[in-house]
Amino acid sequence: MDSIREVDFLVIGSGIAGLTYARLTARHGKTLILTKKNRAESNSNYAQGGIAGVMSDDDDVRLHAEDTLVAGAGLCRPDAVEVLVNEGPERIRELMSLGAQFTMHTNADGSASLSLGREGGHSRNRIIHAADKTGWEAERTLLAAVKDEPNLQILEHYFVLDLALDSEGQCVGAYALDPQTAEIHLFRARTTLLATGGCGQVYKHTTNPAIATGDGVAMAWRAGVDIANMEFIQFHPTALYHPAGKSFLITEAVRGEGGILRTSNGDTFMENYHPLGALAPRDIVARAIHAERIKRGEPCVYLDITHLPAPFIRERFPTIFETCLSLGIDITEQPIPVVPAAHYACGGVQTDLAGQTAISGLFAAGEVACTGVHGANRLASNSLLEAMVFGHRAAVKAVEESGSTLNAEPFAQSGNGDSESDMAAVEEIKRTINDEMNDNVGIVRNDNDLSSVLNKINAHMMQATIMVAEYKPSPNLYEALNLSQVASLITRSALQRKESRGLHYTTDHPEKLESERHDTVLSLSKGYKQ
């Protein structure tokens, strides 16, 4: 151990959940945020569409709750949904008071009001947005709000290896690697928040940034925290398909503004799958696109907004317009080639309504957590809302619960070998996990493929575990371990659910069953084998 540093509140991750939490805790004690990249690099930053919330007179929190419950396919926690929809508007107004600049609409009388969009599964226009980069605007606002907070520090490029536990199993901080010096530091804290975001990099095609390697879920699992509902991986129906470009999210708001899904010959098809057509819940749209691609043997379908005025398209979707144009696609004149891509994990580290886990001193908020809000399928634009609502609630509880014991068990130092010398093996683990998950644990699944791929994933997880024991810690090595562990959790969860519900669809069990209406909870303490 190279050094020990003590703080009151430790935050792992600098997205909206982590920043919301840290802004509050910093008023009550020394708060430190650790982030493995730049402070603004997070899943939050890439959220285009908006934040769902009841902000108009023709809407009602009961309707927002009903839409959330319907999308969640019977697995949402009603009490968590009530918390989300009732406290959400206050968090949105708070963000606006901090300076968030959302898109406004000029009313007939000349007054201005929030421009409210609609996305799939919503019964009202309730999506607050900042053009097509809402996550960026929320992240910018919160970073500016904490910039001069004397009790708050953000350390960039620190890779958190594992949570620090005391002899009684209580979380008392985390061990982090400074890649610049290769030193491991113990950051001891009275309470620790996991706000590490999602795990989209488990899959070959994802809208998530490169940092989304499931680190929070994996380190919580190694610490003995229960993980719930990991089979429910949301595939965003519309990611840009282009051989020369990386996966890029085409926000659901494009369909909300009238975008039409078509096949290569121009035919529409969503009316054959759901009464809401292109605005059906994401799981239904993703499966419909998958089915059309397979039926026609084509790599993608097309999202057409060429019937909308060009100036409106450029103003409403500037980021999408510029990105597509850089790849030779003028979306004012050409339909956008799209394909589903891994987007959001509805499961994760199991918490209560205050973000507390079963381990004393450990909280989780945002995509890494499973609060029960999303059930089997997240309603569009509820993610940023959840991050703010439960990040806030976790902070309030953490301030109340912060204890005084800070005696951490020593970090189990790995071997002396250099993992960089075996980089090819590390990259092969990552590549194989991506391919296997993409081919076998995607939008449509079956038991045989799941069982087969689980054996392969577990073999790679064992290989990564051995390498962690033999080599000095490195971000690449730990990301390979984390990806393999999370891939195993997703696949094992999918095998345990013997029905099709929400985001989990299996051809062996195509019906939704009342007997299967329960969470899938994996627990090391109850005999789950690594």
- Determine the Cα–Cα distance for residues 469 and 460; give it in Å rounded to an integer: 14
CB 517 within 8 A of CB 253: no
- Determine the Cα–Cα distance for residues 431 and 473; give it in Å rounded to an integer: 20
Host H or E run for residue 467: helix 447-470
Region of 426 (left: φ > 0; alpha: ψ -120 to 50; beta: rest) is: alpha
Q: Which of 321, 384, 313 is nearest to 50 (CA)?
A: 384
Catalytically annotated residue among 39, 282, 287, 393: 282
| Radius of gyration of the chain, Cα coordinates, nearest whole angstrom | 22
CB 253 within 8 A of CB 259: no
CB 102 within 8 A of CB 127: no
DSSP 211: T
Known active-site residue 296: no
Q: Which of 331, 363, 481, 389 is nearest to 94 (CA)?
A: 389
**Residue 449 identity (one-letter amino acid):** D
Q: Which two tokens stand for residue 502?
A: 């929400």
DSSP β-bridge partners for residue 234: 344
Query: Helix H segments across 7-118?
Result: 16-25, 61-71, 78-97
CB 116 within 8 A of CB 128: yes
Residue written as tokens 């975008």?
Answer: 259
Q: Which two tokens stand for residue 66?
A: 């009903």
Q: Which of 155, 10, 37 is nearest to 475 (CA)?
A: 37
- Determine the Cα–Cα distance for residues 240 and 257; give it in Å rounded to an integer: 18
Active-site positions read 282
